[in-house]
Amino acid sequence: MFRKTTLLAAALMVAVFACTSKKEAEDAAKKSPGPTEAAAPQPETHGTEVKSIELKNPLDPSWVVIGEGIYETKCLACHKLTNEKLVGPGWAGVTKRREPLWIMNMVTNVEMMLETDPEAQKMLEECLVRMPNQNVTQDDARKIIEFMRKNDGEK
């Protein structure tokens, strides 16, 4: 990793020197991160905790279709629409067992939930596999919930 970072920094310096004056190159070199700074992990911007959600009746049919598409792309490999456990728990009845905020945060902030929520930790013990972060936006998670509600028989 150090070697890649060093090569990247060197390539950047060559590009800077080739395209700028000596003064500009020196200024750019002072501002560019060193090998340890470049290798530092960047903060994750994905997981902002969801604080509220509004459910509407009747269901929004376009959201249900979009939610089903997201399910088929990101969720189907681990979750069945029945009670049957695949890798993760089945989705049948999930909107009856869990609050919408809990579902939203589990989908969009899985790391936070597994660290802080006792129910999420209990599910991890049962399933033995951490739910991966699928980088689902809050907007997409809301559409997944609409699909879950339809799966649970809501109209």
Does 102 or 18 have the greater pLDDT score? 102
Beta bridge partners of 79: 85
- Average pLDDT value for residue range 5-27: 47
Q: By CB neighbour count within 10 A (0-12 exposed, 13-18 middle, 19+ buried), where does 113 fall? A: buried
Question: How far apart (Å, rounded) are the C-alpha atoms in residues 122 and 36?
Answer: 38
CATH topology of domain 61-151: Cytochrome Bc1 Complex; Chain D, domain 2 (1.10.760)
Mean of all residue pLDDT scores within the chain = 81
Q: pTM for this structure?
A: 0.69
- Average pLDDT value for residue range 32-58: 62
Whether the per-residue pLDDT at 39 is higher than 80: the answer is no
